[in-house]
Amino acid sequence: MIKLNPKLSQKFSYTLLCLAAIFAIVPVLLMVFIIIKNGASAISWEFLSSMPKDGMRGGGILPAIIGTLSIVSCAIIVTLPIGVCAAIYLNEYAKDNIFTRIIKLAIVNLAGVPSVVYGLFGLGIFVMFLKLGVSIIAGALTLSIMELPVIITTAKSALNSVPYYFREASLSLGVSRWQTIRYVVLPNAIPGILTGAILSIARISGETAPILFTAVAFYVPHLPHSIFDQVMALPYHLYIISTQIPNMPKDVIYGTALVLLMMVLTMSCVAIFARIYFRKRRKW
Amino acid sequence: MQKVLDLIIEKIIFICAIASIIFVILIFSFLFKEGLSFFKNYEVSKFIGGHFWYPSSDPASFGILSLIVGSVLVTLGACAIAVPIGIMTALFISEIVPKGARDVLKSLVELMAAIPSVVIGFVGMITLVPLVKSIFSLPTGLTAFSGSIMLAFMAIPTIVTISEDAIRSVPRHYKQGALALGATKWQTLRRIVLKAAMPGIIAAVMLGISRVIGETMAVMMITGNAAHIPHSIFEPVRTMTATIAAEMGETVRSGMHYKSLFAIGLVLFLITFLINFIADLFLGKNKNT
Amino acid sequence: MVDKIKIENLSCYYNKKSVLESLNLNIVKNEILSVIGPANSGKTTFLRTLNRMNDFDVTYSRKGNVYLDGDNIFDIDAESLRRRVGMLFAMPIPLPMSIYDNITYAPKRLDLITKKSELDSIVERSLKDASLWDEVKDRLDSSAMNMSGGQQQRLCIARVLAINPEVILFDEPCSGLDPISTAKVEELMIDLKEKYTIVLVTNNVKQASRVSYTTAFFLMGKLIEIDQTGKLFISPKEKETEDYITGRFG
């Protein structure tokens, strides 16, 4: 084999790395571009605010938007307090023992369970066992368990970024541990916790498999009245109109994909910018 | 009064902390319960080793070998693409680009991770699938190959983010030592940094695999869903996840077919449990160095 | 001369390794006790034992007793002990909130004071006692993180004064400060001893000689010598003490 000049081999390798990065990122940008280009024409106020017509081939996607929003907001209401409390326990109270290690292992494993398995679990426990039926609440509870490890991990790192000496200063004044957490640690961790929560909301808005058997229906002719109703949801709606309905107008599919994509990306962007903003403003 | 209140809150916090353990146990026991009642009527060896998945014919056959092969094939294909590209991108972002561009690229990768899998599946279906069909002149473009490509884009963000963390946590003096000895930046990167970051990179790969093997919607839309053992990557396959998602709606609750899907879920759960456990071991190792 | 704190046979350990050995020591009320000694002599451990801040360290354990006005501090509730025995750290640690909120933080949490007029008077009194009032009275609502180091340390003193402690522990309070700020803090300590009992841990031998009534010299976890400051500095009884204060080691 020819021994390459080290300088030359460096140049070659850097080019290769750059190509890899291009290959990783550009196709995804292209995907987003394709959806925007083909979907933009379908977007109108009517599309966003009316019920589907002609077996989904016309009209709007309002029930799917409302459905997704209601499932996701219920899910975050359930998962955020539990996740933040668990993070507080792990970061502030937990001692380094077997019990803590088991909790951490459990969190790692929850994070790795495939989304469709969460769907099975939700079907088994919420829909069948607790007899909630296929409903917003059953889907939301399923998603909330799925999102719990993400919330715990981000909340924990937000708590961890508050320097230890603030806690010492408060404790040395005779303030109790919980009061120290409540009035010194939490206020300074809130920005981090919230950006994590927004990222989670974005992520679960796009999830389909966990709500497939727990919350969604092919078509519901009215908007949900309560959390015990079945609903339509954007990701599932996109799935059925792109695979199950023959002669579906392409622009409606693209339009639906665009709405879903924008919803998810906007929320993620907000979270990312908020994180940058708060990091810059941080005083310690 | 204040003391009592503090104590109650601390108890609540503790209960929330053990919630995760409870959920893992609940998930496992639910899958196990349904799976067990399935295995009472159907042998495990016939289930795992059986070639034929005919859940609704009479007599039904519940062999998931073709589904396992489908999942493994798609996963391997996705890894073959995502692992090298992911690691190289991580190196590029952490070591080559200037700091300002690095933050932008990292945010971009994070945004990529947020793209819903149905959207990826949909785009794959209308762009990649016809392309694969015409380039390789296949009867259908819905193949394991197309699935692998689209899934690679879902694994790349995970691999990039975690490897990048690992690469950047390599102590600075390792690099400076090598550079001081006259090694070029690339030699240092390849021989020192990459080696030191290896446990973290392996963990990143494991977590990427775990994401791909559990992925459902995109594979269901792109891989063709044919439950047979494929001869090459250019044939349609059906994965375990897609089987559960596609068939659960049609099953009779508490029937054999219903239970068999839980049994597949159990297999999936165990596989991902194992992968994540190994990844966690490597991540722990990375922190100690 | 009344003893405020009595320490009997106190030994402290980290991971079972001894860092302080059978210490016996009395601390006189309304005076300043300086604790001097080289690094790793157990000074800070000693200080953090007096208000039980070491309780949070899982590797820490101890034997022996400490009495505060006759009460064994290990029998009383740690939180009520800490408000009787306040503490200042080596680096000033203002909480990330306004100057006003820094002072009212503990009174609000501990005494549940919510009346604005009461809080105002606590803020004014504490800042005056910490001789910071004139410098900050017009910007009480601005963030404490924007003050100078010396001001921050005096704010921390004011924050401790706001809870009316009996004893104040200073853990090398001037190690991060410039000479002028140091002089201010030292002056303040001398003023404060009228009302409070003070224990000062310091690396700075001269500082101990300037402010304290009694000085104790620690070395390798042992109390080598304790005496009135003047006597200890002019005619130390032990060879190690002499070597340390004359700067032969440490």
**Is B275 near chain A, with CB under 8 Å?**
yes
Instruction: Confirm if A283 and C96 have CB atoms less than 8 A apart.
Output: yes
Q: Directed axis angle between helix A136-160 and helix B2-41, to 10°?
A: 130
Whether residue B101 lies within 8 A of chain A, CB to CB, comes out as no
Select from A96, A166, A175 the Cβ nearest to the Cβ of C96.
A166
Residue in chain A nearest B81 by alpha carbon: A24
Among C80, C91, C145, select the one facing A174 at the smallest CB separation: C80
C36 φ, ψ (degrees, to nearest 5)? -115, 165
A256 Cβ contact partners less than 8 Å away, ≥ 6 residues apart? A39, A42, A61, A64, A234, A237, A238, A241
Q: Is A172 on the interface with C (CB under 8 A)?
A: yes
Q: How many CA atoms lie within 13 A of C85 on its CB side?
A: 27
Question: With 50 as the cut, is the pLDDT of residue B131 above it?
Answer: yes
* Residue C250, pLDDT above cutoff 80: no
CB contact under 8 A, A166 and C87: no
**Is it the case that residue B90 has pLDDT exceeding 60?**
yes
**A15 touching chain C per CB within 8 A:** no
Per-residue pLDDT tens over the stretch A149-169 = 999 999 999 999 999 999 999
On whether residue B129 sits in a domain, the answer given is yes
Q: Which chains touch B (3 or more CB pairs under 8 A)?
A: A
Contact C200, C175 (CB under 8 A): no
Domain ranges within chain C, ordered by starting residue: 3-90+166-245
Report if residue B46 sits inside a domain: no
Q: pLDDT tens digits for A8-62?
A: 888 888 899 999 999 999 999 999 999 999 999 989 898 898 888 877 787 889 9
* CB-CB under 8 Å, C160 with A174: no
Average pLDDT over residues C80-106: 93
Q: What is the mean pLDDT of residues B29-55?
A: 88
Interface touch A17/B34, C-beta < 8 Å: no
**Are C86 and A173 inside 8 Å of each other by CB?**
yes
Model confidence band, residue A198 (pLDDT cutoffs 50, 70, 90): very high
CB-CB: which of B23, B110, B248 is closest to A213?
Answer: B248
Residues B177 and B73 in one domain: yes
- Predicted pLDDT at A35: 94
The phi and psi torsions of B138 (rounded to 5 degrees) equal -100, 160
Within this chain, do residues B80 and B197 fall inside the same structural domain, yes or no?
A: yes
Which of C:45-74 have CB within 8 Å of A? 51, 53, 56, 58
Which helix (H) or strand (E) is B223 found in, with range?
none
The residue of C52, C79, C80, C163 whose CB has the most chain A CBs within 10 angstroms, and thus the best one to mutate to test that interface, is: C79
CB within 8 Å: A284 and C160: no
Residue B289 has pLDDT above 60, yes or no: no
Q: Which CATH number does C3-90+166-245 carry?
A: 3.40.50.300
Pick from A96, A169, A172: which is nearest to C51 by CB? A172
Based on the domain organization, do B22 and B136 belong to the same domain? no
Q: Name the band, by pLDDT with cuts 50, 70 and 90, for residue B288.
A: very low
Query: Would you state the pLDDT for residue B287?
Result: 53
Q: Which two tokens stand for residue A51?
A: 């019920």
Please indicate, yes or no, if residue B211 is contained in any of the structural domains: yes
Number of CB atoms found within 10 A of residue A222's CB: 8
What is the crossing angle of helices A98-112 and B2-41, to 10°?
Answer: 50
Question: Which segments of chain B does DSSP mark as H helices, in order?
Answer: 2-41, 44-49, 65-91, 99-114, 117-123, 129-135, 144-168, 172-180, 185-188, 194-196, 198-214, 217-222, 240-247, 256-288
DSSP secondary structure letters along chain A:
-PPPPHHHHHHHHHHHHHHHHHHHHHHHHHHHHHHHHHHGGG--HHHHHS-EETTTTEE--HHHHHHHHHHHHHHHHHHHHHHHHHHHIIIII--SSHHHHHHHHHHHHHHHS-HHHHHHHHIIIIIIIS---SSHHHHHHHHHHHHHHHHHHHHHHHHHTS-HHHHHHHHTTT--HHHHIIIIIHHHHHHHHHHHHHHHHHHHHT--HHHHTTTB-S--SS---STTS-B--HHHHHHHHHHTSTT--HHHHHHHHHHHHHHHHHHHHHHHHHHHHHHHH---
Asked if A284 and C105 come within 8 Å (Cβ–Cβ), the reply is: no
**Distance in angstroms (rounded) separating the CA atoms of residues A152 and A82:** 8
Same-domain pairing of B36 and B59: no
Pairwise CA distance, residues A230 & A219, whole Å:
9
**Domains (ranges, CATH) in chain A?**
63-233 (1.10.3720.10)
State the SS3 of B195-217. HHCHHHHHHHHHHHHHHHHHCCH
Mutate to test the interface with A, among B20, B269, B281 (most CBs of A within 10 A): B20
- For A114-146, the pLDDT digits (tens) are 999 999 999 999 999 999 999 999 999 999 999
Residue B48 in domain: no
Residue C26's beta-bridge partner residues? C6
Percent of chain C exceeding pLDDT 90 equals 78
CATH number at residue B281: 1.10.3720.10
Share of chain B above pLDDT 70, in %: 98
pLDDT at B166 over 70: yes
For residue A193, which phi and psi values (nearest 5 degrees)?
-65, -45
Q: Neighbours of A (≥3 Cβ pairs closer than 8 A)?
A: B, C
Mean pLDDT of A62-84: 95
Amino acid at the residue C235 = S
Q: Which amino acid is at C210?
A: R
Place of tokens 């056959």: B61
Structure tokens at A161: 């970024």
Contact yes or no for C95 and A169 at CB 8 A: yes
Q: Residue B268 pLDDT > 50, yes or no?
A: yes
Look at residues B215, B92, B91, B82 and name the one whose alpha carbon lies nearest to residue B159: B82
- Answer whether B125 sits within 8 Å of A114, measured CB to CB: no
- Round to whole Å and give the CA distance between B236 and B133: 12
- Residue from A68, A85, A98, A109 whose CB has the most chain B CBs within 10 Å, to mutate: A109
B181 shares a domain with B132: yes
Q: How far is A172 from chain C (nearest CA, A)?
A: 6
Are residues A168 and C89, on separate chains, in Cβ contact within 8 Å?
yes
Contacts of A96 in chain B (CB under 8 A): none
Residue A81 with chain B: CB contacts under 8 Å: 16
Contact at CB, C159 and A166, closer than 8 angstroms: no
Interface of A with C in 130-159 (CB under 8 A): none
CB contact, 8 Å: B212 with chain A?
no
CA distance A100 to chain C (A): 15
Overall average pLDDT of the C3-9 stretch: 92
Say whether pLDDT at A3 is over 80.
no
Residue A169 and residue C51: Cβ atoms within 8 Å? no
Q: Is B73 inside any structural domain?
A: yes
Instruction: Report the pLDDT value the prediction gives residue A4, as an integer from 0 to 100.
Output: 67
Decide: helix, strand or coil at residue C234. Answer: helix
Q: Which chains touch C (3 or more CB pairs under 8 A)?
A: A
Domain of B248, in residue numbers: 53-288
> Of C94, C105, C81, which Cα lies nearest the Cα of C166?
C81
For residue A1, pLDDT over 70 is answered with: no
Nearest to A166 among C86, C95, C160 (CB): C95
Distance from CA of C166 to the nearest CA of A (A): 12
Nearest residue, CB atoms, A175 vs list C91, C110, C145: C110
**According to the model, what pLDDT value does residue A116 have?**
94
Any idea how long chain B is? 289
B169 confidence band (pLDDT: 50, 70, 90): confident
Tell how strand C3-14 and strand C60-68 pair up: antiparallel
Does any domain span residue B94? yes
Q: Give the tens place of pLDDT for each residue, A203-241.
A: 999 999 999 999 998 888 888 898 999 999 999 999 999
Touching A: C residues 131-160, CB under 8 Å: 143, 145, 156, 159-160
User: Count of domains in chain B?
Assistant: 2
Q: Are C128 and A193 a contacting pair, CB within 8 Å?
A: no
C77 touching A, CB under 8 A? Answer: no
Gap from C232 CA to chain A (nearest CA, Å)? 31
pLDDT for A2 equals: 56
Distance CA A61, CA A80 (A): 28
C-beta separation of A146 from A204 below 8 A: yes
Q: State CA B111 to chain mean position distance.
A: 18
Q: Does a structural domain hold residue B209?
A: yes
d(C-alpha A132, C-alpha A138), whole Å: 6
B26 with B167, same domain: the answer is no
**Which of these ranges, A5-9, A165-169, C34-38, has the smallest mean pLDDT?**
A5-9
For residues C160 and B207, what is the distance between their CA atoms, to the nearest angstrom? 49
What is the nearest CA distance from A130 to chain B, expressed in angstroms? Answer: 13
Q: What is the mean pLDDT of chain C?
A: 92
Six-digit token string for B232? 């090459």
Mean of the pLDDT values across residues B181-186?
85
Which residues does chain B have within 8 Å of residue A134's beta carbon, measured at their own beta carbons?
none
Verify whether the Cβ–Cβ distance C96 to A179 is below 8 Å.
no
CA distance A37 to B94: 33
